[in-house]
Amino acid sequence: MHPRQVAASRFCEQCSRHWTRRRTDAVVTHTAPVRLHHRRLAGSLRPLAGCLVSALVILALATPSNATGASASPVAIAHGVIDSACAGGAGTVIPAPPPWLAGAASVPTTILPSGITLVVVSSGYPPASFAEVHAFTSTCAPDSAFGDNGVDRLTFGGRDFGVAAAIPALGGGTILAGQSTSGWLVARIDASGRLDPAFGRGGWTVLPWPGGASAVAQAPSGDIVLGGSVGGGCCVREWVGELSARGALVRRFGSGGRVRIGPLEDSGVARVAVEPGGDILALTGGGNMGCWGVTVAALNASGSPVPSFQRNFNATMQRALPSEAFVGDLVVRRDDFLLVGTEQENCVTNVASPTAMGRIIAFQPNGELEASFAGRGEARFSSSMEDPVWALPQQDGGMLVVGMTPAIQAKARARLNLEDISRSGSVDRGYGHDGVAQLPLPFLSQSYPASYVPVSVTSNGHVSVVISSTADGRGLKLVQFLG
């Protein structure tokens, strides 16, 4: 067995015994859904994180062990250009405890309506009893009104915890979701970084549910929707839960405030979203050994399954997406929702597949195909197979699709591919080079898990944020780009 396979196996065994695998939303947030779902491909671990839309990039600092001699700095992208207002385009360094980066730190990020970007850094394995929240202005300078010169240290009664997702809270502040040693953790901090005493008990609440939360959303009513899971491999269990805006369990939702949903193999909840009509969607991503897939569950406001949705959705997926590998994100729109991602006919291996492409499939709220989208209910675009994939809604109704190409060549530098997709599903050929822009990352694409890299993307429709770290212990970097 390759040393990385051994390390990956040991890492997973440790996590399953001591700390439930974290997922992204994601995500990411359009952050959640920051993170994290681990996919196995030839023994490597890859994160699925959540997202939003804005152009900030948080990158791991390169080290001699993973550098290839090329510059680690991102390059300018046609109408996705590095923002010179952000430290002259050079970005800003975010310190993090070295042991955290070595254990797959979680780094959910969100952009507040005020334009402040928050980066929440918490440990991976082993867990720690504190997290650091960094706040940056639109110029990437520390926000002096937040914490101690832009940094606040979060603790929750001395217990170990991790934060997997962060979103702006209605009425101000930020909602954080993750897990503690006692169950699912949910907290709210105010604009200064302090725990909001009006939420839960002193700003936070722990739900006595196994595992942890990996995705979070807030309904217009203020209720907080959570998605999370426990376990791995064949034995995953997943739930959607609901809290009030003040952090109290909504017991009328499902059974005691939560509903169990159907998982996939080795899966996690990557995103939860609330449709305009009030129904809740939960995106699950999972699979193993390169055979990856997604499913969506739909619940009404009381937590009951939306009638006929699952049957309709499954039938649509079988017709429109019969491939063995699909990785994607979920975007809720006014009248429909989209699955956006990349697919290929066969399971992913270390050989690139000529069948790989980008796919967008539109669904009605009842799970049936929305045939009016792109004239036939789906659109395709040129793309390699990518994992993870984020779909970041833009102000014009379109989306920025961001994906990372799985490792094929042993010395290939990791990169993000970006494509600007219109509301109708067409590619903007004026974006980047013939519709595709690339953002190089300062680590090798096969640096898993020895340099295990959590990645998440967030945006507000004007700028976008990519967060990445390596296990070299050198820290994180935030770079902001426009459009």
* CATH label of the domain that carries residue 282: 2.130.10.10
pLDDT band at 346 (very low <50, low <70, confident <90, very high): very high
Contact 55, 478 (CB under 8 A): no
Task: Check residue 432 and give its pLDDT.
Answer: 75
In this structure, what token pair is assigned to residue 203? 């700003």
Instruction: Determine the Cα–Cα distance for residues 299 and 404; give it in Å rounded to an integer.
Output: 31
Compute how many other C-beta atoms are within 10 angstroms of the C-beta atom of residue 51. Answer: 38
Residue range 121-143: mean pLDDT, rounded? 92
**Least confident segment among 72-76, 379-383, 465-469:** 72-76
Task: Check residue 237 and give its pLDDT.
Answer: 96
Residues 6+ apart with CB under 8 A from 49: 24, 25, 26, 27, 28, 31, 32, 33, 34, 35, 36, 108, 388, 390, 454, 455, 456, 457, 467
Task: Check residue 407 and give its pLDDT.
Answer: 59
Q: Is the pLDDT of residue 403 over 80?
A: yes
Summarised one tens digit per residue, pLDDT across range 306-341 is 999 999 999 999 999 999 999 999 999 999 999 999
- pTM here? 0.85
Q: Is the pLDDT of residue 443 over 70?
A: no
Q: Is the pLDDT of residue 375 over 90?
A: yes
**Least confident segment among 109-113, 232-236, 463-467:** 463-467
Residue 223's domain comprises 3-482
User: Which percentage of the chain shows pLDDT scores above 90?
Assistant: 56
Name the residue with tokens 């901090």. 189
Q: Is the pLDDT of residue 29 over 70?
A: no
**Least confident segment among 65-74, 175-184, 288-297:** 65-74
Q: Is the pLDDT of residue 442 over 70?
A: no
CB burial readout 308-334, b (16+ within 10 A) else e? ebbebbeebbeebbebbbbbbbbbbbe
Q: Is the pLDDT of residue 246 over 50?
A: yes
Residue range 252-267: mean pLDDT, rounded? 95
Task: Check residue 36 and give its pLDDT.
Answer: 32
**Mean pLDDT, all residues of the chain:** 80
Q: Is the pLDDT of residue 33 over 80?
A: no
**Least confident segment among 1-10, 110-119, 279-288:** 1-10
CB burial readout 195-227, b (16+ within 10 A) else e? bbeebbeebbbbbebebbbbbbbbbeeebbbbb
Q: Is the pLDDT of residue 38 over 50?
A: no
Residue range 70-85: mean pLDDT, rounded? 53
Summarised one tens digit per residue, pLDDT across range 167-187 is 999 999 999 999 999 999 999
**Least confident segment among 241-245, 252-256, 471-475:** 471-475
Residue range 56-72: mean pLDDT, rounded? 40
Q: Is the pLDDT of residue 447 over 50?
A: no
Q: Is the pLDDT of residue 450 over 70?
A: no
Long-range contacts of 420-423 (CB under 8 A, 24+ apart): 420/79, 420/80, 420/394, 421/340, 421/360, 421/379, 421/381, 422/396, 422/397, 422/398, 423/396, 423/397, 423/398
Instruction: Determine the Cα–Cα distance for residues 140 and 135; give it in Å rounded to an integer.
Output: 9
Contact 32, 50 (CB under 8 A): yes
Residue range 398-415: mean pLDDT, rounded? 76
Residue range 461-465: mean pLDDT, rounded? 75
436 forms bridges with which residues in the sheet? 419, 433
Domain tally, the chain: 1
Instruction: Determine the Cα–Cα distance for residues 70 and 347; give it in Å rounded to an integer.
Output: 31
Task: Check residue 406 and give its pLDDT.
Answer: 64
